């Protein structure tokens, strides 16, 4: 085969792959649109997705091996949307408690606006391995853990080996508890307390746990923006190097 023929074949293959990726995304978006119209707990029908995407069921199963494959792709998309919603809140703009309030607020408001998507995102598809939702929790937990690490380092405190090892599962557990609390809040016949009260209570709960653990170890957490603490840490490191 000539190099020119090979290039043409590669170009066609690439365009076909791109076409398949676009069609696959259209199907995922259609499934999400169908879910958005349904009540939480009501599963979508593949035919409804096909109608929404303006294609046949046969075409859908050309892009997904079976219904479980489609479910997993939809769940992954939903959880990536949750992560994208919360990612901006993980910036170092504000004090630690303000950042936590911002993270919790973004998540609660997203879940309230998309209860059916949240229900579907939480579905147990364990036969596929780690759930996309647990990965979203991990992403947020890592962000909060990073903020806590900066605060502790800026204070010049050395954590014990056990504290360092426990930090990851402890923060992961706190964030997981928030996800569970929001699910319970969404499921209530009367959704109370109010959205803002729920955000305040959940974010305060996280901060009280963090602050309480710090105080029990003789640490007084400073009421300073994390960006300032990071700058203090940077200056301290620079001074030590000189």
Do 94 and 159 share a structural domain?
yes
Same-domain pairing of 29 and 83: no
For the chain, the residue count is 242
The parts of the chain modelled with pLDDT lower than 70 are: 1-13, 16, 126-130, 233-242
What is the C-alpha to C-alpha distance for residues 224 and 153, in angstroms, rounded to an integer? Answer: 14
Distance CA 32, CA 72 (A): 12
Q: Of the candidates 35, 64, 93, which is a domain's last residue?
A: 64
Q: Are both 105 and 12 inside the same structural domain?
A: no
Q: 175 lies in a domain? A: yes
Question: Does 19 reside within a domain?
Answer: yes
* CA Rg value for the chain: 23
Domains: count for the chain: 2
- How far, in Å, CA of 78 to CA of 203, rounded? 23
Segments forming the whole domain that contains residue 47: 3-64
One domain, residues 31 and 86:
no
Residues 55, 84: Cα–Cα separation, whole Å: 29
**pLDDT value at residue 235:** 61
Do the domain assignments include residue 71?
no
On whether both 94 and 186 belong to a single domain, the answer is yes
Q: Kindly state whether residues 60 and 80 are assigned to the same domain.
A: no
Contact 150, 230 (CB under 8 A): yes
- The confidence score (pLDDT) of residue 89 equals 82
Tell me the C-alpha distance between 224 and 147, whole Å: 12
CB-based contact 75:132 (threshold 8 Å): yes
Question: Is 18 exposed, middle or buried, given 0-12, 13-18 or 19+ CB atoms closer than 10 A?
Answer: exposed
Q: Does some domain include residue 55?
A: yes
pLDDT digits (tens, 9 = 90+) for 70-92: 999 999 999 888 888 777 887 88
User: Is there a contact between 187 and 120 (Cβ–Cβ < 8 Å)?
Assistant: no
Residues 51 and 88 in one domain: no
Q: Which two tokens stand for residue 239?
A: 């001074």
Neighbour tally for 175: CB within 10 Å: 24
Residue pair 151/95 in contact by the 8 Å Cβ criterion: no
- Same-domain pairing of 56 and 101: no
Taking a C-beta distance cutoff of 8 angstroms, is the pair 199, 101 a contact? yes
Q: What is the pLDDT of residues 185-217, one digit of tens each?
A: 999 999 999 999 999 999 999 999 988 988 888
In the numeric block, which tokens belong to residue 183?
């699910």
List the helix and strand counts (H, then E) for the chain: 10, 0
**What is the residue whose two structure tokens read 């690439």?**
14
Instruction: Assess whether 212 and 125 both reside in one domain.
Output: yes
- How confident is the model at residue 45, as a pLDDT? 96
Domain boundary pick from 40, 64, 88: 64
pLDDT of amino acid 224: 84
């Amino acid at each position: 085969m000539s190099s020119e023929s090979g290039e043409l074949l590669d170009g066609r293959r690439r365009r076909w792959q791109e076409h398949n990726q676009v069609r696959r995304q259209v199907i995922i978006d259609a499934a999400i649109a169908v879910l958005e119209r349904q009540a939480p707990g009501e599963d979508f029908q593949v035919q409804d997705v096909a109608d929404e995407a303006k294609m046949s069921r046969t075409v859908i199963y050309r892009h997904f091996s079976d219904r479980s494959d489609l479910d997993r792709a939809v769940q992954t998309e939903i959880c990536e949307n949750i992560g994208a919603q919360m990612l901006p809140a993980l910036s170092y703009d504000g004090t630690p408690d303000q950042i936590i309030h911002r993270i919790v607020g973004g998540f609660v408001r997203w879940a309230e606006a998309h209860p059916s998507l949240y229900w579907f995102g939480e579905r147990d598809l364990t036969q596929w391995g780690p759930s996309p939702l647990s990965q979203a929790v991990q992403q947020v937990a890592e962000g909060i853990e990073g903020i806590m690490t900066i605060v502790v380092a800026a204070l010049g405190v050395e954590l014990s080996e056990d504290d360092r090892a426990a930090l990851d599962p402890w923060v992961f557990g706190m964030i997981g508890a928030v996800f569970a609390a929001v699910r319970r809040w969404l499921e209530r016949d009367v959704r109370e307390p109010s959205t803002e009260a729920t955000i305040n209570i959940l974010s305060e709960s996280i901060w009280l746990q963090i602050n309480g653990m710090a105080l029990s170890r003789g640490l007084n957490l400073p009421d300073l923006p994390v960006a300032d603490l990071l700058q203090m840490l940077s200056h301290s490191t620079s001074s030590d190097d000189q």
